[in-house]
Amino acid sequence: MALVTTQPCVKVIGANGQISLGKQYAGRQVLVEEQEPGVWLVRTATIIPDNEIWLHQPKAAADLQNALSWAQANTPADNNLDITLEKLSGQD
């Protein structure tokens, strides 16, 4: 990871309590930590919803990658569609 350093610059907090960090950060999520009164650490972050965190576990990620690879190698076909629909509906 490259270390990026810039010269300090003065930003003015607007009447609505906001500051602009620049268009390159537009739409990004950030973590804001108040380390002491008047001192903030702002870091870009990727937030994963709790109900999706399981997808990022090694086994689930590997299973998902295997499924995607299989789907790319096995194109869908309409062969035996009636038989497949009967099996899915439970009418054997």
Give DSSP secondary structure letters for 15-47.
TTS-----GGGTT-EEEEEEEETTEEEEEEE--
> 41 CB contacts (<8 Å, ≥6 apart)?
31, 32, 33, 35
Distance CA 56, CA 6 (A): 33
The pLDDT, as a whole number, for residue 40 is 93
DSSP 51: G
Domain boundary assignment for the chain? 27-73
pLDDT digits (tens, 9 = 90+) for 6-20: 888 899 999 999 999
Q: What is the pLDDT of residue 92?
A: 54
Low pLDDT (below 70) residues in the chain: 1, 91-92
